[in-house]
Amino acid sequence: MLGLMQDHNLLISSIITHAARHHGDAEVVSKTVEGDVHRMNYVELERRSRRLARALIRMGIKAGDRVATLAWNSGRHLELYYGVSGMQAICHTINPRLAPADIGYIVNHAQDVVLFADTTFAPLVAAVAPAIRGTVRAVVFMTEPAHMPDIVLPEGMDLLCYEELMAASDEDYSWPDFDERTAASLCYTSGTTGKPKGVLYSHRSTLLHAYGVNLPDVMGLRTVDKALPVVPMFHVNAWGIPYAAPMAGAGLVMPGRHLDGASLTHLMNSEGVTFSAGVPTVWMGLLNYLKSSGERLTSVNRMVIGGSACPRILMEEFGDNYGIRIDHAWGMSELSPLGTYNAPKAKHADLDRESRLRLAEKQGRAVFGVDMRIVDDEGKVLAWDGKVSGHLQVKGPWVTSGYYGSEAGSALDAEGWFATGDVATIDPDGYMEITDRSKDVIKSGGEWISSIQLENIAVGHPDVMEAAIIAARHEKWDERPLLIVVPRKDHQVDRASLLAFYEGKIAKWWTPDDVVVVDELPHTATGKIQKLALRDTYRDHLLPKE
C-alpha cells in the first residue's frame, strides 16, 4: 500500500519561492566587481530569477541546455543559479583559475551554448573564445551597459550585456514543474589526474543536500544568520550555501573577487556576518591580517573549514583569541560536496582541551544521507577502531553515480559504493579522519605514513606558513616523508628545530627525513597543494647524489 501524502517534485525553484514568500526581507548583499555594494532581498532575487529565465527562453535556451558561468560569488550569479535551473536548463559553473586550455576543453565537452562572465574575466574570455566558437553562441557580461568590456569575439558569437537582457525581459513567468531527477547544475572536478570530469547534480540531489547542510550538527543555518560563502560558487555550488541559506531564511553576503584578510574583515563587520565557510588558506590569510592589524571580527560566531585538512592552529587561534567556533568538514565535488561534519557528541562535553582539539582535527561524522566505509586493497571491509586506515567509500542520494557523458552507475562498484580516492580511519564513534589521498600515501617499509598529520604539525611551528609532505624515493625504505615548507614572512626556518618539533607528537619513524625550504608551493585551481608537481621536482631528493 502506498502512503497517502502529497507528491511534490523536489525542485530548486521551490527554495527561492519559499524564501521570497516567507523570508522576503532577508537580504542578499554583494560586493560588485566595480567595487560598490549591491543589495536586494529574496523577493527581488526571486523576481529577477524569473526575469532571467524569460530572457534565457527568448535567447533560445531550451530544457537541458548547458549555460556556463565564469563568475565570482554575487547576486547575479545567484540569479543564474535559480533562473537557469528553474527553467530546466543546466547551470555549468566553471573555475576561472583553470588554464584557458582546460576551460576550452570543459566548455566543449559540456557543449555549453551560452557563457555568462564577470567583466574581470574579459581577457580570459577573449583567450578562450576561438576554441569554443563551435558550441558557444553568445557571451553575456554580467554588468550594466556602462561597464561592458571592449573585446572582439569570433564571428557567430554574440556579445551581450546582462542588464540589457534583463531590462528587455519581464517577470511574466511561472516556474515549471518537472521530474526532480532532472539535471540542475554541472561542475568539473579539478582533474589532478587525467582530464577533468563533469559531476551532474540533479534538483533532487541539490535539495536533499541543502536539507543535510541545514541539520543542526551540520551548518544548521537559521533565520538569524547572515552567511558569507568564501567558497566560490564556481566550485561545487559553494558547498550548497546558496541553496541552504534561502531555504533557512538566512541572509547571504557575497564577497565578490577580493578574498584577502582585510576585505573579508571589513565586509563581515559592516554586514554583521555570523557564519562563513572556506578552505584553510583563506582563513590563514584572515588570521594573519587580524593579528597584524589588531582588528577583530565583531559578529562572526562560526566558520566552516574544509576542502583540505584544517590545521589545529586555526582552531586554537580563532577559538581562543577571537571566540569563533571552527567546524571541520569533509567532502568532494562528487558528493555535492558534503560528506562528513565534525560536531562533538554529548559524551565529549568533559574532554580536556588536548582531547577536544584532537577530536576536532578529524573530518567528522557522516551526515544523514551519506553512508561510508573503509576497505583494504583487496576490498575487505575494515574495522572502525580509529587506527587502521583504508580506502574510503561512500554512497547516498547526493553522491555521483556516473560522470557527465557516461552511464548512470558507471562510477560505482558492484555494491553501489563510490571510491573517494581518500584514505581514512573511522573511530568507534563514527568520526572519520582522512590520512591521505590514495595517490599521496607514503609507504615506508610497507607501512603507511599520514602526510596530512605531518603537514598539520609543521604548520603549527611558529616559523612555518605552509607545508607539504611528499613521498620521496628511498634506497632502504622505498619511500620516506620529505617536508617542503614556506616560511612565514620575515622568519627563517631551521631544519633541526623544525624536525625536533615532531618529537613526542608522532611515532619517531614518521619524522620527515629532510626539510626543503621554498618561497611558495604550487596550488591547483581549487587551492589544494599540487603534490604531483612537487613530487616531480623532489622525488629523488633523498637518493644519493651521483
Stretch that binds ligand AMP, among 217-225, 244-252, 253-261, 326-334 (CB under 6 A): 326-334
Please tell me which residue in 271, 334, 361, 479 is annotated as part of the active site: 334
**3-state SS assignment for residue 129:** helix
Would you give the binding string for ligand AMP spanning residues 265-304, x where CB under 6 A is met? ----------------------------------------
Please tell me which residue in 17, 119, 182, 189 is annotated as part of the active site: 189
Grid coordinates standing for 475?
634506497
Pick one of 309, 399, 464, 470: the residue that binds ligand AMP (CB under 6 A): 309
Residue 435 appears among annotated catalytic residues: no
In terms of CB distance, is 351 or 441 closer to ligand AMP?
A: 441
| Shortest Cβ 443–ligand AMP spacing (Å) | 18
Stretch that binds ligand AMP, among 17-25, 178-186, 329-337, 480-488 (CB under 6 A): 329-337
CB 186 within 8 A of CB 200: yes
* Largest separation between any pair of C-alpha atoms in the chain: 78
- In angstroms, the CA 251 to CA 544 distance is 59
Cell numbers 620516506 correspond to 480
Pick one of 229, 307, 311, 390: the residue that binds ligand AMP (CB under 6 A): 307
Residue 443 appears among annotated catalytic residues: yes
In terms of CB distance, is 173 or 431 closer to ligand AMP?
A: 431
Stretch that binds ligand AMP, among 88-96, 296-304, 323-331, 369-377 (CB under 6 A): 323-331
Residue 526 appears among annotated catalytic residues: no
- In angstroms, the CA 471 to CA 443 distance is 8
Pick one of 434, 457, 468, 534: the residue that binds ligand AMP (CB under 6 A): 434
* DSSP letter string, 324-343: -EEEEEEE-GGGSSEEEE--
Binding of ligand AMP by 213 (CB under 6 A) = no
In terms of CB distance, is 65 or 440 closer to ligand AMP?
A: 440
Residue 72 appears among annotated catalytic residues: no
In terms of CB distance, is 199 or 254 closer to ligand AMP?
A: 199
CB 459 within 8 A of CB 447: no
Nearest C-alpha neighbor of 85 from the set 187, 159, 160, 157: 187
Q: Is residue 159 classed exposed, middle or buried when 0-12, 13-18 and 19+ CB atoms within 10 A define those classes?
A: middle
Stretch that binds ligand AMP, among 46-54, 83-91, 239-247, 420-428 (CB under 6 A): 420-428
Question: Taking CB under 6 A as the criterion, which residues in 92-151 touch ligand AMP?
Answer: none
Stretch that binds ligand AMP, among 112-120, 139-147, 247-255, 307-315 (CB under 6 A): 307-315
Binding of ligand AMP by 229 (CB under 6 A) = no
Alpha carbon 420 to its chain centroid, in Å, reads 15
Pick one of 196, 229, 337, 512: the residue that binds ligand AMP (CB under 6 A): 337
- Name 114's bridge partners: 67, 138
* β-pairing verdict for 138-141 and 158-161: parallel
**3-state SS assignment for residue 462:** coil
From start to end of 314-417, where are the E strands?
Answer: 325-331, 338-341, 365-366, 371-375, 390-395
What separation, in Å, do the N-terminal and C-terminal C-alpha atoms of the chain show?
Answer: 77
Dihedral (C-alpha) 275, 276, 277, 283: value to the nearest 10 degrees?
Answer: -130
Residue 397: cis peptide before it, omega within 30 degrees of 0 = no
Binding of ligand AMP by 342 (CB under 6 A) = no
Binding of ligand AMP by 332 (CB under 6 A) = yes
Pick one of 274, 363, 389, 456: the residue that binds ligand AMP (CB under 6 A): 363
Element (H, E) at 110: helix 100-110
| Shortest Cβ 77–ligand AMP spacing (Å) | 19
Exposure letters 223-232 (e unless 16+ CB within 10 A, then b): eebbbbbbbb
In terms of CB distance, is 133 or 325 closer to ligand AMP?
A: 325
Please tell me which residue in 448, 477, 524, 528 is annotated as part of the active site: 448
Pick one of 65, 79, 422, 455: the residue that binds ligand AMP (CB under 6 A): 422
Q: Which chain residues interact with ligand AMP by CB under 6 A? A: 189-190, 236, 306-309, 328-333, 337, 363, 420-422, 434, 437, 526
Residues tagged active-site: 189, 334, 443, 448
